[in-house]
Amino acid sequence: MQIPSSRAVASDWLVVTDLDGTLLDHAYDFSAAAPLLRRLEQQGVPVVPCTSKTAEEVEQFQAAAGLSSPYIVENGGALHFPHPEGWQLEMPHQPTPGGGVVVPLGWPRQRLRPLLDALAAELDTRFFALEDLSQEDLMARTGLSPEGAALAARRCWSVPFVLAEDQDVEAVESLAAARGLKVLQGNRFAHLIAPGSDKGLALEVLRRADPRRRAVLALGDSPNDQALLDGADHAIVIPGANGPHPRLRPAIAAGDYQLACASHAVGWADAVATWLAQG
Ligand SMILES: [Mg+2]
């Protein structure tokens, strides 16, 4: 893979990326993209994680990847600026313990949780919220360490859950929408979030905070990334082992999304380096 010259990579783009299934593989490995991530950080091109993960999980990723950029957590539930200098924060925000700020965009988890139980009752089924799973079950489903599973369970703005085996996620999404809520399908879990708070809305807020009004290159792999991909200036889908997610295929076929040449960090680094080299 060719990493573009330093001059080419210092472009006027923000890179906004999903993590699980996009930059990270199922073992949470992103090593094939690590050199490019370091280079982008050094050259002032923000790489903004936009993920269903919690803030504490993303902080771990940022430290491992050497990133200091803002990040979007819990499917757009909040936008964090760990280093707010240089960003225009005109929207309501709160300080965080490490000297950063957080812009809340969704509803608190405590408000969402009873609404998930009400949806399940209406569908005459039961959903298993991530916070209800035993640590062993959560580790088995996610491949996380005990510490990682604990961080993943500390939700503030969303309620991830597992559907019953015979449950159709699209029926759950429709009922949620009819009740003024939003359910999004991710890699391992479905996610109940506040209406109107998705990765696309978080992207709009990020754009408003960017004084340079840079163009956005977005990358994702799942239906919960569609609002992000649709809100970007250029959208790249990262395929899984069996190709792109079936629900993203129509937009790829229509030419709205570019399909990366390989899965996870390999495809991510190739697609980002190639796109930024073009200008
Ligand atoms: Mg994903």
- Domains of the chain (ranges plus CATH)? 6-105+197-277 (3.40.50.1000), 109-193 (3.30.980.20)
- CB distance 249 to 16 below 8 Å: no
* Ligand 1 centroid from CA 118, angstroms: 27
The protein residues having their C-beta less than 5 angstroms from ligand 1 (an ion) are 18, 20-21, 187, 221-222
pLDDT attached to residue 196: 81
CA-CA distance, 183 to 191, in Å (whole number)? 5
Question: pLDDT tens digits, the chain, 279 residues: what are they?
Answer: 455 444 445 579 999 999 999 999 989 999 999 999 999 999 999 999 999 999 999 999 999 999 999 999 999 999 999 999 999 998 999 999 889 999 999 999 999 999 999 999 999 998 999 989 999 999 999 999 999 999 999 999 999 999 888 888 899 999 999 999 999 887 789 999 998 889 999 999 999 999 999 999 999 999 999 999 999 999 999 999 999 999 999 999 999 999 999 999 999 999 999 999 886
* Ligand 1 centroid from CA 7, angstroms: 31
pLDDT attached to residue 138: 93
* Ligand 1 centroid from CA 73, angstroms: 12
Q: Which two tokens stand for residue 218?
A: 């977005």
- Pick from 2, 12, 5, 3: nearest CA to 279: 12
* Ligand 1 centroid from CA 82, angstroms: 23
Q: Which two tokens stand for residue 101?
A: 């700020």
pLDDT attached to residue 6: 45
Tell me, what amino acid is at 142? Answer: T
Task: Kindly write down the DSSP assignment for every residue of 79-146, as one continuous string.
Answer: EEESS-TTS---S--EE-TTS-EEEE-S--HHHHHHHHHHHHHHTT---EEGGGS-HHHHHHHH---H
- At residue 24, φ and ψ (nearest 5 deg) are -105, 140
